């Protein structure tokens, strides 16, 4: 659950997963997936802007 929340950058989802499981173990998956998701979103947005600027 943590990796899915991190990949979708859903901090409230992480809170719900922690409440549902009763442990904070899912935060490890969130911590690994969140930075990758942020970098991918920035790169995609930059590439998309460059694509439309070139047209």
Q: Mark 1-37 as b/e (b = at least 16 C-beta within 10 Å).
A: bbbebbbeebeebbeebbeeeeeeebbebbeebbeeb
pLDDT above 80 (res 44): yes
pLDDT in tens, 7-37: 777 788 888 889 999 998 888 888 888 889 8
Secondary element (H or E) of residue 22: none
Q: Which domain holds residue 20?
A: 2-54
Number of folded domains that form the chain: 1
Tell me how far apart the alpha carbons of residues 5 and 20 are, in angstroms, rounded to a whole number.
Answer: 14
């Amino acid at each position: 659950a943590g990796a899915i929340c991190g990949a979708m950058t859903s901090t409230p989802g992480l809170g719900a997963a922690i409440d549902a499981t009763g442990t904070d173990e899912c935060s490890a998956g969130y911590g690994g997936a969140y930075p990758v998701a942020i970098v991918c979103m920035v790169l995609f947005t930059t590439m998309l802007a460059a694509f439309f600027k070139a047209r």
